[in-house]
Structure 1
Amino acid sequence: MYRSSDRLVAYYHQRMSSSICQHLDSFKHKYGLNSYQIIYKQFISVTTHESRKRKARNSICFTCRLPVSRLHSCLYCVFFGCFTGHHIHEHSKTQNHNLAMDLSYGHIYCFTCEDYMHDKDFETIAKKQKHRADKVCGARCVQYYMWEPTSQELQVLKDNPQRKRISDNSHIGLRGLINLGNTCFMNCIVQALTHTPLLRDYFLADRHICQFEDDPSMCLVCEMSRLFQEVALNCLPLVFYSGKSSPHTPYKLLHLVWTHARHLAGYEQQDAHEFFIATLDVLHRHCRGTNGPTNNSPIHCNCIIDQIFTGSLQSDVVCQSCKGVSSVEDPIWDFSLDLGPSLHMRQQRATSSTQAVCDESEPKSLIDCLERFTRPEHLGSSAKIKCSSCQSYQESTKQLSLKKLPVVASFHLKRFEHSSRFHKKISSFISFPQYLDMTPFMASKIGCTGSGTGSTDGSNVNTYINGVPHNDNKYCLFAVVNHSGTIETGHYTAFIRQHRDQWFKCDDHLIMRASVQEVLDSEGYLLFYHKQILEYE
């Protein structure tokens, strides 16, 4: 398992002190440890059949009365509230009870510090209760044990108090890529993938199992793994996380993509979005998920690519006669968003003699694009469908919404327009935020409001952290791919986020510091957002 030095340092400091949260220290001094021990024993480390029945019966949110995941218990009073629906947040605010306990793992959340807190005394109680449950239940009881550094690792930290933090060593994880002849499109996608947090953690933990037993050199996932690993099989330091700052030549990666996606072979300029989708497809086919070898359908796959990038899109077709709804759910890897006039607008302009007809405003921001993407569309008399209820062909409307959000949401702004008459690039500025809330575009939200604009009655409960909306559908920008030039000739560059708040511009072999404002002011072609809160299943 990959262990960062920052994690060891943080854990070391926690072991040396009782708590890193003054609110937790204040609670222990005033109320003691008894409430935590009782809740842990009765609702987490249960050992008998009766206690499990009692837990199942009582583990519901006191507000919505649902047995939801991420249930938390107030440490001050008898109240269970769901974290996802923010009912535990509301209780904390109204009762001024700032500490709650996660009923899945026993972690303590401080609403004042807005984070989960670790404490030596509480962790000792949890460990004793788990060992007690192990003795009683034996093999029938599966306990989750938090990782702890060994005594030798703690001793190394004690002996070496002066350490240089990784965040101060900016070239760790940053490598320029040599352009092999019009391969800037590939270099940008490689930079985005290597800075995708969960994908990085997967490869650094050496989780990949190669399916090419006869010839591992043909596996694209193995090659991606070599981009991440500090030491290769020949014991030579390699690539992104070796600490080297000299540019890397990705000739092997290019060869494998050409081999497995032949339509991209050749030295002519390719589209970065097409390369991104083709690379995900090859990586998906070369991965092995926890459910065995993957197949051609991403919706049935549990490989790392689909765990990170796959979401699902719901398509609702509504009969205009009986209002019957037919829904279909499809997996998606990215969102391709139109920037020009919609198809409906073009059809109306083509059939009308006046230019003023259907004066639909073109999108100015990513939010505008998503609202238009999820807006109901009248299919018209030329595209009637056979309604199963009416048993006849009827006019209908179609609306797209998001059924399941991916961990990484990638947006493709369709700047290249191809038609039988002309090819052009749309260079209009489309603003995009650093933080993005996808709640208004979810199927459940659209189903309640009937539009893609979300609720306007305040039912969409958000908490705010430093002025930024914070909920479970919240995303943070971590990479942007830009295209400069015309549709016939141009150049791709990328902005990537390193660590928490450092941005860099990647122009093939050149790596330059950038500000977040430079990123947000860029034209934007591919936008990559990472989910801020990850739900466990």
Structure 2
Amino acid sequence: RRKIAADSYVGLRGLVNLGNTCFMNCILQAFVHTPMLRDYFLAERHECDKEQCLVCEMTRLFQKFYAGEKTAYIPFRLLHLVWTNARHLAGYEQQDAHEFLIAALDLLHQHLSARSGSISVEHFFSNHVIVDEDSNERGNPCDCIIDQIFTGGWQSDVTCQMCGGVSTTIDPFWDISLDLPASVPGMAGLGSPTVNGANDQQRPMFTRPEHLGSSAKIKCSSCHSYQESTKQLTLNKLPIVCCFHLKRFEHTNKKNSSDVAACTVLNKNFRAMSPTYKPHSKIHFRYSLFAVVNHLGSLQSGHYSVYVRQHRDQWFRCNDSTILKASVHDVLHSEAYLLFYHKQ
């Protein structure tokens, strides 16, 4: 394999806006610059004889981006396939980039898992996931490239206050949605997560144990009676690519334009929740920022663009067909909507 020079522009190419399709263009740019996704599609591992296949079209997109051409690419076939498979995104009205991200991941997952016989993401569990203590069953992991890269797992532990019995469930996620308060000093303490956009109970810190009051008693599987309990949410499985979604449009007709001080590296020790490691041992993980989707303007009239990392310290702003070099300062102080981090 040839080594790409540090000043190379291979992989940088604009995307023509086909009529309010900036929401799609910025997500496609983030996909193209996801290292493992790039390696998969350029390796042509997907074999298919269908005339209209979203995975085939995505493979064509990656090949066109890394063929060295400089003119903006027109993704009309891919747009048509998205409209065909995700009717709620059809039409030339402006759509939400986060909604398109989840829809695209879901469609690619369905196409890939259908061919491999893998189970759907709703039933996805990693090999080391702990299920309810009363059950010996384990879900089989989906081996499609989408779940390998983007799927993480939330572990929810509900502890009975009477007998101490613990009931554990695992929910897969493709992104972590964070609330934005009126003013934000930084990434820390942004709010509570939701899984794939579904609302979760609000907590100041989403890993803090939450007491479920007398009005929310749950039948304990150990003592077989309805008792008060506590619930704690932890990360059971960290995805290779972690996407943070900042909820700028939630529960209001106005956009929340609060400044968010992002960082290029997430450096964190996590307590192990898996039998793969020693119980409660600390594992060090390092994530690096490689794409930031921005939303400019108001809720009614806005525009999406994206910053992508070409090399370790080379950033570019992709604004549909226009690509301009950018600084790290530009990236970290932009009006971030989606932040993509890659585990190292």
TM-score normalised by the shorter chain: which range applies?
0.7 to 0.9
Distance in 1, Cα, partners of 2:97 & 2:32: 15
Residue among 162, 175, 178 paired with 1:334? 175
Distance 1:432 1:494, change over 3 A: same
Residue among 48, 56, 71 paired with 1:222? 56
Aligned to 2:195: none
Distance in 2, Cα, partners of 1:227 & 1:190: 9
More helix by share: 1
- Cα deviation for residue 391 of structure 1 reads 2.8
Distance in 2, Cα, partners of 1:268 & 1:395: 48
Distance in 1, Cα, partners of 2:268 & 2:157: 19
Identity, in percent, stands at 61
Distance 1:441 1:190, change over 3 A: farther
What do you get for the CA RMSD once the two structures are aligned?
2.4
Distance in 2, Cα, partners of 1:424 & 1:288: 39
Residue among 81, 86, 90 paired with 1:265? 90
* Paired letter, 2:343: K
Q: Does 1:207 align with 2:207?
A: no
SS at match of 1:217: coil
Distance in 2, Cα, partners of 1:411 & 1:329: 19
More strand by share: 2
TM-score using structure 1 length: 0.55
Q: Does 1:477 align with 2:315?
A: no
C-alpha contact 1:402 1:441 (8 A) present in aligned 2: no
Q: Does 1:398 align with 2:231?
A: yes
SS at match of 2:250: strand
SS at match of 1:373: coil
SS at match of 1:366: coil
Distance 1:483 1:400, change over 3 A: same
* Paired letter, 1:509: S
Aligned to 1:255: 80
Aligned to 1:435: 265
Query: Gapped runs of 5+ residues in structure 2?
Result: 125-140, 193-203
Aligned to 2:132: none
Residue among 264, 274, 296 paired with 2:120? 296
Aligned to 2:105: 280
Q: C-alpha offsets along residues 77-127 of structure 1, whole Å, 9 cap, x if unaligned?
A: xxxxxxxxxxxxxxxxxxxxxxxxxxxxxxxxxxxxxxxxxxxxxxxxxxx
Query: Gapped runs of 5+ residues in structure 1?
Result: 7-164, 230-238, 342-361, 449-458, 462-470, 533-537
Query: 1:89-488 residue pairs with structure 2 within 5 A?
Result: 166-170=5-9, 172-210=10-48, 213=49, 216-229=50-63, 239-288=64-113, 292-297=116-121, 299=124, 300-340=141-181, 364-369=185-190, 372-418=205-251, 422-440=252-270, 443=273, 448=280, 460=282, 471=284, 473-488=285-300
Distance in 1, Cα, partners of 2:341 & 2:295: 18
- Cα deviation for residue 253 of structure 1 reads 0.8
TM-score using structure 2 length: 0.84
Q: Does 1:496 align with 2:308?
A: yes
Distance in 1, Cα, partners of 2:264 & 2:26: 19
Distance in 2, Cα, partners of 1:528 & 1:441: 23
C-alpha contact 2:22 2:320 (8 A) present in aligned 1: yes
C-alpha contact 1:312 1:332 (8 A) present in aligned 2: yes
Aligned to 1:19: none
* Paired letter, 1:437: N
Larger relative contact order (CA 8 Å, sep ≥ 6): 2
Distance in 2, Cα, partners of 1:258 & 1:247: 21
SS at match of 1:221: helix
Query: 1:54-93 residue pairs with structure 2 within 5 A?
Result: none
- Cα deviation for residue 365 of structure 1 reads 2.8
Distance in 1, Cα, partners of 2:339 & 2:213: 33
C-alpha contact 2:260 2:333 (8 A) present in aligned 1: no
Distance 1:331 1:460, change over 3 A: closer
Residue among 304, 323, 329 paired with 1:517? 329
Distance 1:440 1:423, change over 3 A: farther
* Paired letter, 2:145: I
Distance 1:485 1:383, change over 3 A: farther
